[in-house]
Structure 1
Amino acid sequence: MRAPTIQVIVVNYRTPELTLKATAAALREMEGLDGRITVVDNGSGDDSVALIAEAIARNGWDADGRVVLMPNAQNGGFGAGNNAAIRDGLGAGRAPDFHYLLNSDAWPEPGAIRALLRVMQENRDCGFAGSCIRGVDGAPHQTAFRFPSIAGEFEGAARTGIVTRLLKGSVVPLPAPQTLSCVDWVAGASVLIRRRTLNEIGLFDERFFLYFEETDLSYRGARAGWKTYYEPRSEVVHVGSVSTGMKTWARTPGYWFGSRLHYFTKAHGRAYAAAATLARIAGGLIWRLRCALSRRPVGEPPHFLRDLIAHGLRRAFRRAPHARTLRGTTMKDVNQ
């Protein structure tokens, strides 16, 4: 039987040193496996391309096309960067059996990629397999989730024990499974994707600049009958939010609100999306009342609730955009 082929994809945006560390770790884990590593520079506009190209040549990683650098002229976001590499595949018209997406600030521990590959080979219904991800301090990161819902938005914003108990079946973050388990979706920092799944459901929707793109992809996969598995034996170290700066946001960027609203609208329709936003606002007000009474910090970027309301109102009075064909993505893919 033919050995499976894997394309590792690392998308860089102004993190060349971390990207090279991720690439080196992936190259180590790909030893004995057939495939290649594609490093995509997502229009960094700094010296990333030169630094990465020089390191690839210096280390001999470009021998036999094992590691290739793909510079993008502009930053179209996480999904667009990965799509560019997925379309290119293994080069010379060769499509891999699997695509392994690895964040530029993450590195797989020994056996991590092979563990995900075993999940795919042993579970033919598996479209996506994600890793157990920990921080550099060893603390576990939240990487297994339920799909977002109206109830989940309310619970997540309210952060109140009685609400969580009443809506426990809708809580979006899941406790990290200790054994191989099916979940709704996994974080895109380390995920193996079956090529046949993408052939069926399409690539990332490039209207998501950042956030919710992997949720949307897994949701489309679930609708088509593909399952998402969480494999705790695949361990990956992740710094987290280096490219996006999420940990130090002075204010939530508009693209986060846009991605969130696009997900709900695309998955469930405009009325559901509006209800989800109202649920998040209601839950947020409950949390703010609790914070005021207990004199604790809200723990969100400044003006988050006000910005959420303003964004929702602007979209409510804006004409819905026409679906457009994205580069390499069909109208069917976009409208799913």
Structure 2
Amino acid sequence: MKPPLVSIIIVNYNSRDFLHQCLVSVYQHTEGAGFEIIVVDNSVTDGVQAMLLENFPAVTYLSNPQNDGFGAANNKGLAIAQGDLIFFLNPDTVLTNNAVKCLADYLHQHQEVGACGGALLNDDLTPQISFGRFPTVTSLFFEFFFRKAFPAYYNNHLAMEGYVAGPDPFPVQYITGADMLVRRDVLAQVGAFDLDFFLFFEETELCHRIGRAGYNQVIVPDARIIHLCGKSTSQAASRKKIEWFEHSRLLFLSKTRGRLYGRLYRRCALWLCRLAVMLKGNADYWLFKRDALMSFKYDKS
């Protein structure tokens, strides 16, 4: 059977230097797997096109006149992709080994698996969040009351986020969007990214649809990828990220579990925000979170 072609789709937003490092690692480590690379640029002012023409002329470049979000940009790349497998990869990632072939071989050999991802690492090679469980009202309370009191038990049994701890592939509810390889025929069946999500939870919602269609989703630890998470330093940027995150989480819940459940989650989260301001300090964070929860509108769900 002929090995599948992999279409690597990377969405850039003010990440030219990260993107250069990412592409160097892809070309350096990828062997024995046919691939194409599509870069979709949501920030056409940072010189990415010129950098690609000079250093990576084989890369296909698409520019967006405006930033419509992570999912919309990935969908634009997907529309022209030629591959049997679609690899959604963040620009702030660095492949440390032949991760593309490792993940492609796994999907090629396991037809019951619709998507897979690798082990994400920090730049010091310690484990980073690579997968997660879908949010619930119960997980909200577990995070608030148990995360610091019983960290080991919480991280192993209760946390929404998950870290790779062993060498064997294992099933998960969703794969972190920094590195997710999906079958094209699965995307044709369940659809691409939901455009209602601007940032955060778009990969979670896509994974929910893949699982609902009957496919497994698996982490393959042999594929090792460094994820250089960017961190905003300004309070305004941090506040905006909190707003996007909370809105997207509520949107995910209202779409997958119904509006009543989403409203219940928001009511509980608001109560915990008030409690946190009284008990935990760090009032700015919890007040930002409260404001984000209160401003969410259900018109998209």
SS of 1:40's partner is strand
- The number of residues matched between the two structures is 297
The residue that corresponds to 1:202 in the other structure is 191
Q: Are 1:104 and 2:96 matched, yes or no?
A: no
Give the superposition deviation at 1:285: 4.2
The residue that corresponds to 2:248 in the other structure is 259
Cα separation, 2, equivalents of 1:73 and 1:183: 36
Q: Retained in 2: the 8 A contact 1:8–1:26? A: no
The residue that corresponds to 1:53 in the other structure is 53
Cα separation, 1, equivalents of 2:151 and 2:46: 47
Q: Retained in 2: the 8 A contact 1:250–1:302? A: no
SS of 1:174's partner is strand
Q: CA offsets per residue over residues 247-298 of structure 1, 9 Å max, x none?
A: 9744244333321221111111110001111222334444444425xxxx46
The residue that corresponds to 1:70 in the other structure is 62
Give the superposition deviation at 1:71: 1.7
Q: Retained in 2: the 8 A contact 1:250–1:301? A: no
Pick from 160, 172, 175 the counterpart of residue 160 of structure 2.
172
Cα separation, 2, equivalents of 1:46 and 1:216: 30
Q: Are 1:132 and 2:116 matched, yes or no?
A: no
Give the superposition deviation at 1:192: 0.9
Q: For 1:304, give the aligned amino acid.
A: F
Q: Retained in 2: the 8 A contact 1:53–1:69? A: no
SS of 2:56's partner is helix
Q: For 2:142, give the aligned amino acid.
A: E
1:96-245 pair list within 5 angstroms: 96-158=83-145, 159=147, 161=149, 171-178=159-166, 179-241=168-230, 245=232
Mark the runs of 5 or more structure 2 residues left unpaired by the alignment: none
Change in 2 beyond 3 A, CA 1:215/1:134 = same
Cα separation, 2, equivalents of 1:165 and 1:31: 40
Q: CA offsets per residue over residues 305-334 of structure 1, 9 Å max, x none?
A: 33134224xx27xxx35xxxxxxxxxxxxx
Moved more, 125-134 or 209-218: 125-134
Q: Are 1:6 and 2:6 matched, yes or no?
A: yes
1:17-56 pair list within 5 angstroms: 17-56=17-56
In the TM superposition, structure 1's runs of 4+ consecutive aligned residues that sit over 6 Å from their partners are 162-168
Cα separation, 1, equivalents of 2:295 and 2:159: 24
Q: CA offsets per residue over residues 15-67 of structure 1, 9 Å max, x none?
A: 1121111112112333332221111112333322223333224xxxx2xxxx2
SS of 1:28's partner is helix
Q: CA offsets per residue over residues 223-266 of structure 1, 9 Å max, x none?
A: 11111101111100111136xx3897442443333212211111
Q: Retained in 1: the 8 A contact 2:75–2:193? A: yes
Q: Retained in 2: the 8 A contact 1:252–1:301? A: no
SS of 2:41's partner is strand
Cα separation, 1, equivalents of 2:154 and 2:80: 47
Give the superposition deviation at 1:118: 2.4
TM-score (norm 2): 0.88
Cα separation, 2, equivalents of 1:212 and 1:74: 21
The residue that corresponds to 1:331 in the other structure is none
Cα separation, 1, equivalents of 2:152 and 2:27: 43
Alignment root-mean-square deviation, CA: 2.7
